[in-house]
Amino acid sequence: MDIDKEVLEILKRTEAVITDSHIVGTKGGHMSVYINKDAIYPHTEETFNLCRLFAEKVKDLDIDVVVGPVIGGVILSQLVAYHLSKMKGREILGVYAEKTPEGGMTLISRRNYDQLVKGKKVLVVEDITNTGGSAQKTVKAVKEVGAIAVAVAAIVNRNPEKVTAEYLGAPFYPLCVFKAENFEEKDCPMCKAGVPINTKVGHGKQYLEAKARK
């Protein structure tokens, strides 16, 4: 089975693909199709297999360390590094980048991950790229500590027009592309049609609470 088809099968089995809904994303965009990454991680075998597919995708690249942005990237970095270590017959480290108060990402902390990564060849892993912001900031954090961002890999790229290698600052290897429209509130057809906001996934609950305070 092709990697992209195998990934979509995993997403379906974990019920991570939501369609025909009205969902508010983390950046405020409105969408009718959503990939719920939080539905994947409780299924440990499926997550393990997804990370094996990551490793398969980039196994021919020269990689020393796998870095993921918190929170989901912590799980991915560890398991992708595990699979790459098995495939390459040498230890590949797995660490994570943390958020800064200013909204960026950093490897500089009391964990000393910056020292582990410095001068190394790094793979950045992400779950879903909607805007690509977290992955882009993680690439920047990798470069800021003197490491080489060899590539970025993601489970799903939902915005192939915007989220590209040029935008991220490193070659990009999404496991699959699942394109879905993302509307600003003022242009959202679901809002205009009065479709209720989904409060179970995304930021719908926070969105409605914020509107109620205005």
Q: What mean pLDDT value characterizes the chain?
A: 94
pLDDT for the residue 1:
53
Would you kindly state where each structural domain of the chain is located, as residue ranges? 3-207
CA neighbor of 31 nearest in space, from 178, 212, 177:
178
Q: Is the pTM of this model over 0.85?
A: yes
pLDDT digits (tens, 9 = 90+) for 3-37: 888 998 999 999 999 888 999 987 788 999 888 89
- DSSP class of residue 196 equals P
pLDDT in tens, 70-121: 999 999 999 999 999 999 999 999 999 999 999 999 999 999 999 999 999 9
Q: Nearest to residue 34, comparing CAs of 20, 44, 54?
A: 20
* CATH label, 3-207, candidates 3.40.50.11810, 3.40.50.2020, 3.30.1700.10, 3.40.50.300: 3.40.50.2020
> Collapsing DSSP states into helix, strand and coil, what is residue 18?
strand
